[in-house]
Amino acid sequence: MVITIWWRAMKTSILWFILLSLLAFTLAAVAFSYVFDRYLPEGKVLGVQVQNSGGLSLFSSQARLVKSAQNPTVYAIAGGFKHPIRNEEVFYSYDYNFRNVRVVSAAELQKYPLARLAKERGTGRVYFLNYGNNLKKYHLTPQAFSSYPGNRWAEVVELSGKDLSFWEDAALLKEANSAKIYYLRGNQKAWVPSENEFLNAGFSWGKILTVSKADLDTYQTVNFNIGLVRSSQATAAAATPSATKQVIVTLDASSPAASIFPFATAGNLAAVFRIQALSGNVNINSLKLTKSGLLNINKITAARVEDENGAVFASNANISGNLINVNFRSPVVIPRALPKVLRVKISFAPGQETNHTVSLGIQAESDIQADATVSGIFPLFAATHKLIAADNLIGQVRISSQTINNTLRDVNLGSRNEAVARFTLEETSGNERAAVSSLTFTNYGTANDNDVENISLYRDRALIGAVRSLQNGKATFNLTDNNITVAKNSPVEVSLKIDILQGEGSTLKFVIDSADDIQVRGLTQGFNLVVASADNFPIGQGASDNYNKAVFRRAGVGFFASSLTDSEREIFRGQDNTIFAQFELRNAGQDIYLQRLKLQVEKFNGAPDIADDISLMEKISREVIVTVDKERTRGGVMADVNLGNHKIAANAAPTIWVVIKVPEDAQSNNSYRINIPELSYKIGLDNTTYTQAVAAMGQLMRVYAPRLTLTAGALVNGGAATAGADAVELGGFSLAASVDEQIKITNVVMSLATSSDDVTYASGFAELALYSGARVSGIISQPNSRTYTFSNLNITIRAGATLGLTIKADTENITAGKRVQFKLESMQAEGYSSHAPVSVAGEGTISDAVAINAASGG
């Protein structure tokens, strides 16, 4: 009974438990459903409910993809905000398709503000986006987020983790009213105490964000040290994914609309493509263009790709099978965020076809070979253009090469204005005159760009253009302001001249490489004309490799001693500015610059060392090339002399003198000879030094040292004179000249011997003078000294001859009883021709005494 009652009570309890449990579950399900329906669209951000319409997500099907016609950047529009899609990797992280991208006007795109608040899908982390510095700032707490009046939870846009990985984490913060800068690491902040530590850590001033105090206060404060930065940077580097480079290709707004192109015209602008690089510079190596339309591909004779400024990237495209394959000479660099345009110009062969059309485009991404992912809406074709026949309207220009040489031609290094190419231009249709606006010549030889300079273009021998140097083996003449006008049926000759600097053994051969290298426009119809030739391009190639080819040779220089006359070979002791040697330098058709020479002064017969500096000078101009210190040649030492880059003009043959003063102590029969065994020089602007063994030896130069020997001469009066007579002989001397040369006496000093009486006017003497037969000096009318100087003399003695010299005076009777004796104190003489000083021996010689007697009956 008890058990039955217990069981009934238990059944009742269990039943109530089940009913209450079912009710609780139902209420929980309803509550969960309500929360799910209400709060999941709102979402929870940092623990705060976010009122969200469900459209602020780039993953939403409501997100739209747009771009403007002027800019290739694709934007995602969500909930009234736009967000740029920076690259293809990000694009596909949202599972987007380029076919869904729509073009809108720039004004329409401008209506949408940039999304500044972002939530990372999967983590719920909320960031502020700084587009100017590509920074994202994470908010640690809801309070930090709400501390900014402009922040609204409803404006947070959901982005992919891949998208946000390309944004750099903000690591440098400061308050608006404080100069303190903090470095962030995780949830920690560290005050950077000085500018030096800021810079040493590798921080950038442009990476600092200004934040609210409430936001900054959410970070824990720690001390700053460089190790904190280094470890953080290492962690960030390991965690940061690398961005994939990308280029976006579109048609540029400047791409031409449908137009008409005549056959047999060149440089027709068919398409313009715009290329923009994202996430770094991009190199484009090649481009494949597809032709559409009725025009046969064989009618396209050339295609050129250039930039907006006309700089050519490629001009020798391979054209076949409806494809134009363009391989760039060097990669075309597309800078990050700086779009570049590629302008495609094509040339057409003559034709008579009607209703033929042509359009060029890029069929697929793979038709652009680059070191980046290629994006765009493909196939991408430009407008369709129509071809017409206009043979009776437009002109035609023919070009041909003229022969300069058929075999390899030598040209000297250093040659100036050397003719290296010659062409004839002729308008052959008679329809219109033509103007050449650009000419490009290409060197098919081996010479480097810096081997030549001053490339000059002549029309009928008149200079019309010049470029300083070659660029990649090419010389391009822009003749826009100085066209070469080609009259109808009237040929014009153009020639190319050049300066040869260096590169011994290198070759030069200029050709016109392709039809694109000559730009010609008809002056009546205004179309660019196709240039024809009897030969295929390159024009100027010739029948053999050596046709119009020149090779650079070094002609060398001639340097040798040239003869002096017999009289010029006579040098005299003490003679100044004496030519010791004469050399001739013969230069070829090149400017040369003398560098060094070796010089030796050889001595013979006991000749003394040179006592003065040595000069090398040009005979005609008297320009001193170099002065050599006398000490460098002492003892016959070979001196290495720096010639200071002295220029010798092309084809010049200067005579060079070695000029020295003959030593004062040189004696007769001493001899000298100048020896120059080696000369070095440079040619033109060639920096190579060429050394030439010249073995140039001057002539033997004999020293003449004229001497004059003085002795007492016999007196005609035998040493006795009569007082009161005129021209009384008072002293006599004998002068003997050496055989070197005729001597001229210029100064004599006579004095009275110690034992002599005075010879003065007061003592009865007058009209004192020197005689050699006739009087040879001026007269001292009233002598009043014991020493007499006779200057400005011109007494000559033949070489090897002897001359008598006497001193005479008029006497009065009062001179009776006097004894007179003269001494030849000194004498100055010089070589009559050489003007070299004469060595005088016997100075101080005393003449025999003369006794003056009274006249008989006096």
Q: What is the pLDDT of residues 119-154, one digit of tens each?
A: 999 888 999 999 888 899 998 888 888 889 989 988
Average pLDDT over residues 494-513: 91
Average pLDDT over residues 325-335: 88
Question: What is the model's pLDDT at position 106?
Answer: 86
Question: What is the model's pLDDT at position 240?
Answer: 41
CA torsion, ordered 600, 603, 607, 611, to nearest 10 deg: 0
CATH level 2 (architecture), domain 397-553 = Sandwich (2.60)
Six token digits for residue 416: 């100036």
Distances (CA, A) of 198 to 182, 192, 210, 236: 10, 6, 17, 19
- Span 624-648, pLDDT tens digits: 999 999 999 999 999 999 999 999 9
Residue carrying the six token digits 């008579």: 352
Please state, rounded to an integer, the average pLDDT across all residues of the chain.
86
CATH topology of domain 558-703: Immunoglobulin-like (2.60.40)
- What is the distance, to the nearest Å, from the Cα of residue 623 to the centroid of all Cα atoms in its chain? 32
pLDDT band for 422, please (50, 70, 90 cuts).
Answer: very high
> Would you call 278 helix, strand, or coil by DSSP?
strand
Average pLDDT over residues 342-353: 92
pLDDT band for 14, please (50, 70, 90 cuts).
Answer: low
Contact predicate 626/641, CB 8 Å: yes
> Would you call 238 helix, strand, or coil by DSSP?
helix
Of 532, 492, 465, 529, residue with least CA distance to 402: 492
Distances (CA, A) of 773 to 732, 749, 765, 803: 12, 19, 21, 10
CATH of 246-386, one of 3.30.160, 3.30.70, 2.60.40, 3.40.50: 2.60.40
Average pLDDT over residues 772-776: 95
Six token digits for residue 833: 């021709």
Distance CA 336, CA 252 (A): 17
3-state helix vs strand vs coil in the chain, percent to 5:
15, 45, 40
Same fold, 558-703 and 707-853: yes
| Of 51-60, 102-111, 292-301, minimum mean pLDDT range | 51-60
Distance CA 731, CA 721 (A): 11
3-state SS track over 550-566: EEEECCCCEEEECCCCC
pLDDT band for 735, please (50, 70, 90 cuts).
Answer: very high
Q: Is the per-residue pLDDT at 290 higher than 60?
A: yes
| Of 394-403, 832-841, 842-851, minimum mean pLDDT range | 832-841
Average pLDDT over residues 422-433: 92
- Span 777-821, pLDDT tens digits: 999 999 999 999 999 999 999 999 999 999 999 999 999 999 999
Q: Is the per-residue pLDDT at 226 higher than 80?
A: no
Average pLDDT over residues 594-618: 95
Question: What is the model's pLDDT at position 16?
Answer: 52
Count other C-beta atoms under 10 Å from residue 149's C-beta.
Answer: 7
Provide the phi-psi class of 501: left if phi over 0, else alpha when psi is between -120 and 50, else beta: alpha
Q: Which helix (H) or strand (E) holds 809?
A: strand 802-811
Q: Is the per-residue pLDDT at 441 higher than 90?
A: yes
pLDDT band for 82, please (50, 70, 90 cuts).
Answer: very high
- Reply yes or no: is the peptide bond before residue 262 cis, omega within 30 of 0: no
Average pLDDT over residues 699-713: 92
pTM: 0.48
CA torsion, ordered 263, 265, 266, 271, to nearest 10 deg: -50
Domain ranges of the chain: 1-41, 64-238, 246-386, 397-553, 558-703, 707-853
CATH class belonging to 707-853: mainly beta
pLDDT band for 565, please (50, 70, 90 cuts).
Answer: confident
pLDDT band for 32, please (50, 70, 90 cuts).
Answer: very low
- Span 708-720, pLDDT tens digits: 999 999 999 999 9
Of 568, 588, 601, residue with least CA distance to 676: 601
Average pLDDT over residues 747-773: 96
Question: What is the model's pLDDT at position 827?
Answer: 96
Six token digits for residue 515: 């039809």
Q: Is the per-residue pLDDT at 234 higher than 80?
A: no
DSSP 369-412: EESSEEEE-SSEE---EEEE--TTTS--EEEEEPPS-SS-EEEE
CA atoms within a 13 Å half-sphere pointing along the CA-CB vector of 446: 9
Question: What is the model's pLDDT at position 47?
Answer: 32
Q: Is the per-residue pLDDT at 190 higher than 90?
A: no
3-state SS track over 627-641: EECHHHHHHHCCEEE
Of 522, 496, 525, residue with least CA distance to 437: 522
Enter the DSSP assignment of 53: -
Average pLDDT over residues 570-595: 88
Count other C-beta atoms under 10 Å from residue 688's C-beta.
Answer: 12
Q: Is the per-residue pLDDT at 53 higher than 50?
A: no
- What is the distance, to the nearest Å, from the Cα of residue 139 to the centroid of all Cα atoms in its chain? 55
Expressed in angstroms, the distance from the first to the final Cα of the chain is 218
Q: Which residues contact 348 (CB under 8 A, 6 or more apart)?
A: 261, 262, 263, 264, 265, 266, 268, 299, 300, 301, 387, 530
Question: What is the model's pLDDT at position 5?
Answer: 42
Q: Is the per-residue pLDDT at 362 higher than 80?
A: yes
What is the share, in percent, of the chain residues with pLDDT greater than 70?
91
